[in-house]
Amino acid sequence: MPAKWQRFSVPAIVALALAIPAVVPNAYQMGVITRICLYALLALGLNIVVGFAGLLDLGYVAFFGIGSYVYAFLASPHFGLHWPFLLALSASVVTTAIFGVLIGAPTLRLRGDYLAIVTLGFGEITYILLINLDRPINITGGPSGIVSIDPPSFLGITLRDNWQYYYLILALMGAAVALSRRLRDSRIGWAWQAIREDELAAQVMGINTVAAKLQAFAIGASFAGAGGALLASWQRSVFPDNFLFTESVNILAMVILGGVGSIPGVILGAALIVALPEIFRDFALYRLLAFGLLLMILMIFRPEGLLSFKGPPEEADPLEQVTAERQ
């Protein structure tokens, strides 16, 4: 994107995002838009792992779940703990980052399909633990989850209204965008992308691929940790069924649909995957069918995603011809 164009478009988009509560008429629509922002945050995290570092993670929702439950443990009557919001949120972020490293470490030698299968297993194990860890001692609350979770409150304000949640989640999504950009255009982002493009060449260029992959897993997971804390405090309850495998697939679809590695693409992907099923709601029975068909059409006509970082293949290099003719 040309820098000049960006200077106008970024403030315009921010202004638009801030104005949404004033123009959107009802709570239902506000809720959908807030969910788009929440999922965009998650998808941005997965984009670091899949889009930047090229590591296919099919169990990403596990981090979302861990983040939610950490928040629920620390800010609800479940254990009688009522940590301040920002502290509990930070705890979710740090815990999921640690889990990102713990899960990442044994998978470091795996690539592609094998990595996908192991991470898928991790997602399933997390779900099974959440649903079963109510006996012999009740840790997770089992299938009925944890309820009466504290709403976000900081600086003396307790959030209750839809628009307040929207701004909170928008702010964290905005932070995720800024962090994604900074990381992508840093030495760590260069290392991630080099690994994605050619792992052996990356090693030979002096990149410690083990460290770089663990960093990708940690950061990606921590975004989901923040998202989890937001979900728990917004929904005021968490259930294992919030973290099914299908959610991992949905989030991955957001990353792929918009264009793997592209930050605006990932946000667009989140908007489509969250909003389209809502739009097709009137068709009830055919809703998922129509949604699936649309995705298929998209993947046939733009397999690289809507706003892919790849762009169309370039043909002749005009500069090349000039220099060739000069000889």
Which residues in this chain contact another protein in the complex, by CB under 8 A? 179, 182-183, 185-188, 190-191, 193-194, 196-198, 200-209, 215, 218-219, 261, 309-311, 313-314, 317, 319-320, 323, 327
Q: Which is nearer to another protein, 87 or 178 (CB)?
A: 178
* Closest-CA residue to 305 (of 275, 279, 266): 266
Measured CA to CA in angstroms, residue 28 lies from 80, 164, 240, 275, 276 at distances of: 32, 14, 24, 12, 14
**Least separation, in Å, of the C-beta of 79 and another protein?**
30
Q: Which is nearer to another protein, 2 or 80 (CB)?
A: 2
**Least separation, in Å, of the C-beta of 189 and another protein?**
8
Q: Which is nearer to another protein, 211 or 297 (CB)?
A: 211
**Least separation, in Å, of the C-beta of 282 and another protein?**
41
Q: Which is nearer to another protein, 203 or 235 (CB)?
A: 203
Cβ neighbours, 10 Å, residue 167: 18
Q: Which is nearer to another protein, 3 or 285 (CB)?
A: 3
Secondary structure of 275-316 in HEC code, one letter for each residue:
HHHHHHHHHHHHHHHHHHHHHHHHHHHCCCCCCCCCCCCCCC
**Least separation, in Å, of the C-beta of 203 and another protein?**
4
Q: How far apart are CA 225 and CA 52, in angstroms?
A: 19
Asked if 266 contacts 103 with a C-beta cutoff of 8 angstroms, the reply is no
Strand ranges (DSSP E) for 100-171?
Answer: 153-154, 157-158
> Where does residue 264 rank: exposed (0-12), middle (13-18), buried (19+ CB within 10 A)?
middle
**Least separation, in Å, of the C-beta of 187 and another protein?**
5
Q: Which is nearer to another protein, 183 or 290 (CB)?
A: 183
**Least separation, in Å, of the C-beta of 324 and another protein?**
8
